[in-house]
Amino acid sequence: MPSRFTGRWGQVCSSRRMRRASPFCCRKRGWEVERLVAMPVVFQGHRLDVGYRLDLLVERQVVVELKAVAAFEKVHFSRLLTYLKFSGCTVGLLINFNVVRLTDGIRRVVRHYHPDLRPPPTPSAALRD
């Protein structure tokens, strides 16, 4: 089943088009969303505008980076981690619209996530698996 984006505009959508449409969809759900948020850097006490721009900032908690690429590369994850650090947010999403199924193009990134420190599964969670 095609997503609302790919169903209307075809398989390959530009990230520019998605940057315009995605905030509309978020606002329809009642979420606060900001588009192309400038992310200044403080270096030795000086505020620098070095050109970092968040594609979307949802509820001032989730950084969303929109892409239309063949596949995610390490630089995409590194850039998102940098944005998370500068914004003070913990969770980010990388969304690639150049996929057959949109769910295949979504990656969640959590700052300071250490898989070794995960709590053990609860007995009820173990039974569901």
Q: Say what the pLDDT of residue 12 is.
A: 45
Number of domains present in the structure of the chain: 1
Q: How far apart are alpha carbons 123 and 85 in whole angstroms?
A: 35
CATH of the domain at 120: 3.40.1350
Where are the extended beta strands (E) located within 21-115? 33-38, 41-43, 46-48, 53-58, 62-67, 91-96, 106-110
- 7's enclosing H/E stretch is helix 4-9
pLDDT tens, position by position, 62-98: 999 999 899 999 999 999 999 999 889 999 999 998 8
Q: Say what the pLDDT of residue 120 is.
A: 60
For the entire predicted model, the pTM comes to 0.69
Range of the domain at 15: 4-128
Which residues of the chain fall short of a pLDDT of 50?
Answer: 1-6, 9-12, 125-126
